[in-house]
Chain A
Amino acid sequence: MFRKFTLALTALSLVTAAGTALAHHSFAMFDPAKVVTLQGKVKEFRWVNPHVSLFVDVAGGAGQSGVWAVELTSPGNLTRLGWSRQSLKPGDRVAVEVNPLRDGQHGGGFRKATLLDNGTVLQANLINIEKAAAGGH
């Protein structure tokens, strides 16, 4: 199951410099030139519009400890990329790559998450929805 899920996501995924496009607000408050990897446990995964948000409790790291709020695209778009509201659960050990907020607060724009216990990689690039859609049915 997980392997299939990972393969499907890998097939769909393509990291681009454009990052994850969103539907409600621009992503410009996040710094695309910086990538921070947050290692910790999922505190909350809010599967809501217009943006799904992921709260990660980060234990250590220079200036990183505490809860981080990570924003993703909408549930509809994530569903099209193979996600579900069960993709991440409280307590999951994760490494999450984000573009951090420019003002230094503990928030970021989602790039990639790896579930550390099974290696599942989750990505969320809208460009892959277009590719899947442009590929027909």
Chain B
Amino acid sequence: MRRACAALLLIAAAPVIAQPADPVVPPPTAADWAALAKLPDWSGTWSPDVRDQVAQVTTNPVPWKPEVQKQVDVLTREEQEGRPRGLLVNCLPHGMPSLMLITHNAHEFLFTPGRVTLLGESDGNRLRRIWTDGRAMPADPDPSFHGYSIGHWEGDTLVVETRGILPQVYLAIGEAVGIPTGGDTVIRERLHLIDPDTMADDLVITAPHVLTRPWETRRLYHRTRKRSFEIVEGVCRQGDFEPSSDKWGNPVYIPTRQQDGNVLPPADPPATNP
């Protein structure tokens, strides 16, 4: 009993841990929904200009730190000699800024009150939520692959700042050439149309652990409205498996034979069912 009282006293004497404010997002009004109609039309499917991705890196090289450049040179050489170090074969997300820099898959944009959502094609995890409700950047957002993004509209340009990106996320210039940023990355973007069906993403990438200065670069996306261009489900790890059946005859997936992310012919003897 005495011990219990002492414990209670200790608890009472402990400093109160301040709970962070947890603002409530108000429900959107009819006016909020109507305001979306005044935004530029970004509907349709946006395919990256992969040729221009390559051209951008060639004409406007990444200002890697000298010691990082050596690592980039090793990865570049490995790829050129046919031993690519696939950055994405583990199917983790590209993360930022690589999602915008090197993706070969399409994007689409959803506008809802207070938010722009970018959906990538490969996996549900190629996803960016860009908050446009006027909130401030959190002081210390939980690190994530695509970071915490706040944005605002300047005319027809979406201005975005992204922080809180995991240090393991690559700053990549290709699917086999990229360096983890090491954290403290800040990405500022201006997304806007440069003609009716071409979007430019003007990025300023600050990555102090790997770059000598912020890297300014542009990526282009082309729009189509054809149904054949609509984004379809793209589960990255599906390719790691092949269809088979279990002991009851139900269709199941079993691991497929592969090497460095690319499939190989069936093994001899063939893989057995689970």
Within 8 A of A (CB), among B88-104: 88-89, 91, 103-104
Residue of B nearest to A82 (CB): B228
Asked whether B84 lies within 8 Å of A25 as measured between CB atoms, the reply is: yes
Within the assembled complex, what's the spacing in Å between the Cα atoms of A46 and B233? 15
Min C-beta distance of A18 to chain B, whole Å = 8
Q: Count how many chain A residues have C-beta atoms less than 8 Å from C-beta atoms of the other chain.
A: 45
Asked whether B263 lies within 8 Å of A69 as measured between CB atoms, the reply is: yes
- A73-92: CB near B (< 8 Å → 1, else 0) gives 11111011010000000000
Min C-beta distance of A72 to chain B, whole Å = 11
Min C-beta distance of B258 to chain A, whole Å = 9
Contacting residues, chain B, for A105 (C-beta < 8 A): 259, 264-265
Contacting residues, chain B, for A46 (C-beta < 8 A): 239, 242-243, 263
Asked whether A134 lies within 8 Å of B82 as measured between CB atoms, the reply is: no
Contacting residues, chain B, for A127 (C-beta < 8 A): 50-51
With A22-B104, A26-B175, A130-B49: A74-B234 Cβ-Cβ less than 8 Å: yes
Contacting residues, chain B, for A51 (C-beta < 8 A): 239, 262-263
With A22-B104, A69-B265, A71-B262: A48-B50 Cβ-Cβ less than 8 Å: no
Asked whether A25 lies within 8 Å of B232 as measured between CB atoms, the reply is: no
Asked whether A129 lies within 8 Å of B122 as measured between CB atoms, the reply is: no
Q: Count how many chain B residues have C-beta atoms less than 8 Å from C-beta atoms of the other chain.
A: 50
Asked whether A130 lies within 8 Å of B222 as measured between CB atoms, the reply is: yes
Identify whether the interface residues of B are mostly helix, strand, loop, or mixed: loop
Asked whether B224 lies within 8 Å of A133 as measured between CB atoms, the reply is: yes
Q: Does B83 contact A (CB under 8 A)?
A: yes
Asked whether B121 lies within 8 Å of A76 as measured between CB atoms, the reply is: yes
Contacting residues, chain B, for A71 (C-beta < 8 A): 262-263
With A24-B89, A105-B264: A49-B238 Cβ-Cβ less than 8 Å: yes
Contacting residues, chain A, for B225 (C-beta < 8 A): 137
Q: Does A60 contact B (CB under 8 A)?
A: no
With A26-B176, A137-B226: A53-B239 Cβ-Cβ less than 8 Å: yes
Within 8 A of B (CB), among A26-42: 26-31
Contacting residues, chain B, for A74 (C-beta < 8 A): 105, 121-122, 234
Asked whether B234 lies within 8 Å of A80 as measured between CB atoms, the reply is: no
Contacting residues, chain B, for A130 (C-beta < 8 A): 47, 49-51, 222
Within the assembled complex, what's the spacing in Å between the Cα atoms of A29 and B233? 27
Asked whether B263 lies within 8 Å of A67 as measured between CB atoms, the reply is: no
- A88-121: CB near B (< 8 Å → 1, else 0) gives 0000000000000110011100000000000000
Residue of A nearest to B231 (CB): A76
Residue of A nearest to B257 (CB): A69
Q: Does A126 contact B (CB under 8 A)?
A: yes
Within 8 A of A (CB), among B177-198: 196-198
Contacting residues, chain A, for B113 (C-beta < 8 A): none
Within the assembled complex, what's the spacing in Å between the Cα atoms of A80 and B225? 11
Asked whether A49 lies within 8 Å of B236 as measured between CB atoms, the reply is: yes
Asked whether A26 lies within 8 Å of B86 as measured between CB atoms, the reply is: yes
Min C-beta distance of B42 to chain A, whole Å = 15
Question: Which of A48, A53, A79 has a CB less than 8 Å from the CB of B228?
Answer: A79
Residue numbers of A with Cβ under 8 A of B are 21-31, 46, 48-51, 53, 55, 66-69, 71, 73-77, 79-80, 82, 101-102, 105-107, 126-127, 129-130, 132-134, 136-137
